[in-house]
Structure 1
Amino acid sequence: MNWLTSFVRPKIRSLVGPKEVPENLWRKCPSCGHMIFHKELEKALQVCTHCGHHMRLPVKQRLKLLFDGGAYTAIELPKPAHDPLRFKDLKRYGDRLKDAQAKTGEKDAILVTHGKLQGQNVVIAAFDFDFMGGSMGMAVGEGLVAAAELAILQKAPLIAIPASGGARMQEGILSLMQMARTTVAVDKVKEAGLPYIVLLTDPTTGGVTASFAMLGDVAIAEPGAVIGFAGARVIEATIRETLPEGFQRAEYLLDHGMVDMVVSRTELKDTLGKILAMLTHRQAAGDVIPLPSDKAPVTAKPTQKEKPVDRKIVQDGDFEVVDDGSSDRTKPAE
């Protein structure tokens, strides 16, 4: 009886009993509230199949989406000083870095990669929001500088994809200095005559927006992305006014001239390919179809030489009249 109770019965229950369902099989859309199966959401590139809301896309999945065949090469970035200020709040900054590195498998919040996008060599610097909110510290500044130098070396366009809450407060003034460094790096890319394109994703705020993120030759944003400097609640508390609906969203910025276009995630690769083709004077990605013309070609008629006109001056009182047979202009006699 003891054998049946302790061995046989648990074995049978494990075979026929209810199985635990993982909690991450379904995702709730933050916009419309629909529950979406995780495989369906991955297939739709983290875009809600009901309302089209663009959820945050993991950085490696984004890179695979943009590069041809999902193949790219990540470069090794220079290693900056570790916790230079010995900063501590509720937790040591060094411990926060270790936790973020263990969570993401990356050394910091930026990946610098290169490969082909629709046959064109490109360098892409993409932020990882899962690493301390994509905050910009010295390592991110080094990454942007390295990406610019690599683009100049390869004579390739540079694409920056920020997803950041701004400067990294744990590095103080050293973090704010990266705003100037990244701006200079972008200027070097432009001086080399290379395209610099920025893809603004959710969110792009703080010091990142105030530096390299708004310097692109073309600024593209994903639908619904939050783009701004200070937070909406901080602005409302400062100006003591209610902000308009959709404030700091990609569509609002498009209407007010802050971004050039808002492009759905499924169309990003084709759009970037066409823009790069135009900026680098390559052949257009699509077929060029000549417009039909129902008018016969116009042939230029031979010009006839004008017959020389004899001009004579006739004295008429106080005026000299220029008589060419057609003109009635007069001028005072000298």
Structure 2
Amino acid sequence: MNWITNYVRPKLTSLLGQPSRELPENLWIKCPETGEMVFHKDLEANQFVIPSSDVHMKIGARDRLTHFFDGGVFEEIALEKVPLDPLKFRDSKRYTDRLKEYKTKTGLEDSVLVAAGEIETLPIVAAVQDFAFMGGSLGMAAGEAIVTAAETAVDRKRPLVLFAGSGGARMQEGILSLMQLPRTTVAVDMVKDAGLPYIVVLTNPTTGGVTASYAMLGDVHIAEPGAVIGFAGARVIEQTIREKLPEGFQRSEYLMEHGMVDMVVHRHELKGTIARLLKVLTKTPVALLPPPPENDGAAPAEADAA
């Protein structure tokens, strides 16, 4: 029996008058690099970036969109329903039970959330993979969400921004998950054929079949600092080639130096950077500066007179 969890925490909760379900899973978060303990609320206010070390922690799909869109306002795009368990898969528990568990945990229907809104007044469509939902794995529902995001962007004539973050294809759906690779690739081609920009933000981690499909087909590839990006894991590669990999292999900074990504951008600067890129790519005219105030007949300044 955990005395703190089972006795002290409920007592504190009752004194504060808050139901226990409103408290986060962990009130303190440990920085993976420095070991510093950061209060959850402070981390949330800083877009889940550790203030002292600048380590970019994973962030939920809705939290990301709230910080990304103007005023935190966005429209969630309805997604098509797909068969929940076509292969009747079971490992230590049934696949349907796993889905129910993650739906309850994250509040999402699957690993991808699609939304429409504005960044710096520019209308866009965005799709976000949430790693908290089964490792952001790519299955039929996630593939359908990416296709819906592309179709919405084409229908509304808006640029598409995708935040990739995944461990790869979802094994519980077998070949059906792998079929999402060509489906999403065709969806990206639809966006490009319509002459619309497609920008990909690679977050930690972006691996497996996601990297082998829509995550590496953007017009511009932006990576968050320290993100792991690749197809196979570093340990698997080392065991295969029987060589030690370079320091920082598969990290954002290493990949930018070797030409795989275009830029590494801090999470706080993503919105402004993407907005500028999209305005260039869409040839959006820059807003004219307001005219200088009239003199109203006042005497000119000495410097002007001189």
**Normalised TM-score (structure 1):** 0.78
In structure 2, relative to structure 1, the CA distance for the partners of 1:275 and 1:286 (3 Å cut) is farther
In structure 2, relative to structure 1, the CA distance for the partners of 1:140 and 1:286 (3 Å cut) is farther
Please provide the CA RMSD for this pair: 1.8
In structure 2, relative to structure 1, the CA distance for the partners of 1:38 and 1:110 (3 Å cut) is same
Equivalent-residue separation in structure 1 for 2:287 and 2:210 (angstroms): 32
Aligned letter for 2:99? L
Question: Counterpart of 2:165?
Answer: 163
Question: Counterpart of 2:151?
Answer: 149
In structure 2, relative to structure 1, the CA distance for the partners of 1:210 and 1:285 (3 Å cut) is farther
- Offset of residue 285 of structure 1: 7.6
Residue 199 of structure 1 pairs with residue 186 of structure 2: no
Equivalent-residue separation in structure 2 for 1:65 and 1:272 (angstroms): 13
- Offset of residue 258 of structure 1: 0.4
Aligned letter for 1:40? D
SS in 2 for 1:130: coil
Question: Counterpart of 1:275?
Answer: 277
1:208 to 207, 210, 233: 210
Structure 1: 5+ residue runs without aligned partners? 1-13, 16-20, 288-334
Question: Counterpart of 2:28?
Answer: 26
Question: Counterpart of 1:4?
Answer: none
Equivalent-residue separation in structure 1 for 2:178 and 2:143 (angstroms): 10
CA deviation vs aligned residue, 1:121-170 (integer Å, no higher than 9, x gap):
10001111111111000001111111111000000000111111000000
SS in 2 for 1:170: helix
Aligned letter for 1:186? V
182-191 or 99-108, which deviates more: 99-108
In structure 2, relative to structure 1, the CA distance for the partners of 1:71 and 1:23 (3 Å cut) is closer
Residue 249 of structure 1 pairs with residue 251 of structure 2: yes
Question: Counterpart of 1:58?
Answer: 60
- Offset of residue 286 of structure 1: 10
8 Å Cα contact 1:74/1:111 also seen in 2: yes
Equivalent-residue separation in structure 2 for 1:39 and 1:97 (angstroms): 28
SS in 2 for 1:36: strand
8 Å Cα contact 1:278/1:284 also seen in 2: no
- Offset of residue 25 of structure 1: 2.5
In structure 2, relative to structure 1, the CA distance for the partners of 1:23 and 1:138 (3 Å cut) is closer
- Offset of residue 34 of structure 1: 1.3
Question: Counterpart of 2:239?
Answer: 237
**Normalised TM-score (structure 2):** 0.85
- Offset of residue 283 of structure 1: 2.8
1:179 to 178, 181, 188: 181
Aligned letter for 1:151? A
Residue 114 of structure 1 pairs with residue 116 of structure 2: yes
Question: Counterpart of 1:129?
Answer: 131
Question: Counterpart of 1:189?
Answer: 191
Equivalent-residue separation in structure 2 for 1:85 and 1:40 (angstroms): 43
33-42 or 152-161, which deviates more: 33-42
Question: Counterpart of 1:91?
Answer: 93
Equivalent-residue separation in structure 2 for 1:187 and 1:243 (angstroms): 34
Aligned letter for 2:166? S
8 Å Cα contact 1:273/1:285 also seen in 2: no
Matched residue count:
269
Equivalent-residue separation in structure 2 for 1:260 and 1:103 (angstroms): 34
Question: Counterpart of 2:262?
Answer: 260
Structure whose alpha-carbon radius of gyration is higher:
1
- Offset of residue 43 of structure 1: 2.0
Question: Counterpart of 2:7?
Answer: none
SS in 2 for 1:114: strand
SS in 2 for 1:199: strand
Residue 139 of structure 1 pairs with residue 141 of structure 2: yes
- Offset of residue 205 of structure 1: 0.4
In structure 2, relative to structure 1, the CA distance for the partners of 1:70 and 1:90 (3 Å cut) is same
Aligned letter for 1:238? T
Aligned letter for 1:279? L
